């Protein structure tokens, strides 16, 4: 199962949700891979840059300086013909967490963007991930806040799309626009793609507007997941120590909300 977290609007928590859902998946015993397609490399730093052991976890990778730009190399091989093509599994880096691996991103992806588009390499990620069948039970793809070459590649490769949103009017308008793009991608490139649901992230349960927006989206027929994710400083602490919440604070309210979200999407798994 390949899931992509996508929203053209920034600041909605795609990287945080990607890494935490993947970490929960791994903690539940599923062999899980994160693919970072955002040139900001937030997911890569979150999962790979843990400088100290924590809670008896022994990081195998101490610093981002010790990893190669695997995703850039992966895509570079799609436009370079004289080098030996490596299997996709060779671009995977282990994390400090059992059952959780990552293909890290790189700022160099920006430089490859035009070359890849000009050579019509939009299906290369899908082809590469076909090689990983049998290695991983779940794959989560983090994307940039844009419908660019890489996010389109991810949507073509994925089985399911999760859409994080913060519950304001700008986010709702972005949802309308994005749903049209997703319908076109499904029709033109990936008939198997399903919108698994909209995630209400940074949700304020006591505020009137977020609940109103969620109810209106549901009434319009959009699939909004029942599990909501609160805003909490604990997520920022998790970023700072590079430790997903399932390991940092397994009993915290925010962690329990993330676990409930994971259980909801996995409950729909067939």
SS3 171: helix
- Percentage of the chain exceeding pLDDT 70: 90
Cα–Cα–Cα angle for 183, 184, 187, rounded to 5 degrees: 90
> For 110, how many CA atoms within 13 A lie in the half-sphere containing its CB?
7
Burial class (CB in 10 A: 0-12, 13-18, 19+), 240: exposed
Per-residue pLDDT at 253 exceeds 90: yes
CB atoms inside a 10 Å sphere around CB 94 = 15
What is the arithmetic mean of pLDDT over 99-111? 89
pLDDT band at 78 (very low <50, low <70, confident <90, very high): confident
For 131-164, how does the pLDDT look when each residue is reduced to its tens digit (9 = 90+)? 998 999 999 999 999 999 999 999 999 999 999 9
Distance, CA of 168 to CA of 181 (rounded, Å): 20
> Quick one: fold of 2-267?
Rossmann fold (3.40.50)
Tell me which residue has tokens 């409930």: 260
**What whole-number distance in Å separates Cα of residue 265 and Cα of residue 229?**
14
Mean pLDDT over the full length of the chain: 87
pLDDT score for 199:
97
| pLDDT value for 222 | 94
- Does residue 229 register a pLDDT over 80? yes
The pTM of the full predicted model, rounded to 2 decimals, is 0.90
pLDDT digits (tens, 9 = 90+) for 23-50: 999 999 999 999 999 989 999 999 987 5
Judge whether 125 and 152 are in contact, CB under 8 Å.
no
Count of alpha carbons within 13 angstroms of residue 8, beta-carbon side: 17
């Amino acid at each position: 199962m390949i899931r992509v977290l996508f929203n053209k609007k920034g600041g909605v928590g795609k990287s945080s949700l990607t890494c935490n859902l993947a970490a929960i998946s791994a903690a539940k015993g599923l062999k899980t891979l994160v693919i970072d397609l955002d040139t900001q490399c937030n997911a890569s730093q979150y999962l790979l840059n843990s400088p100290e052991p924590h809670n008896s976890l022994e990081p195998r990778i101490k610093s981002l300086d010790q990893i190669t730009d695997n995703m850039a190399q992966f895509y570079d091989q799609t436009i370079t013909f004289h080098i030996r093509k490596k299997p996709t599994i060779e671009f995977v880096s282990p994390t400090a967490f059992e059952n959780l691996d990552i293909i890290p991103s790189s700022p160099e992806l920006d430089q490859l963007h035009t070359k890849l588009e000009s050579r019509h390499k939009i299906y290369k990620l899908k082809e590469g991930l076909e090689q990983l069948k049998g290695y991983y039970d779940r794959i989560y793809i983090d994307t940039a806040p844009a419908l660019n070459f890489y996010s389109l590649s991810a949507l073509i490769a994925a089985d399911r799309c999760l859409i994080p949103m913060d519950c304001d009017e700008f986010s709702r308008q972005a949802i309308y626009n994005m749903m049209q793009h997703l319908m076109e991608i499904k029709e033109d490139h990936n008939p198997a793609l399903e919108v698994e649901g909209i995630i209400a992230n940074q949700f304020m349960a006591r505020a009137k507007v977020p609940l109103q927006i969620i109810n209106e989206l549901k009434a319009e027929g959009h699939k909004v997941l029942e599990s909501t994710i609160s805003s909490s400083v604990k997520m920022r602490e998790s970023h700072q120590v590079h430790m997903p919440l399932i390991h940092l604070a397994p009993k915290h309210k925010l962690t329990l909300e993330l676990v409930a979200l994971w259980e909801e999407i996995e409950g729909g798994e067939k």
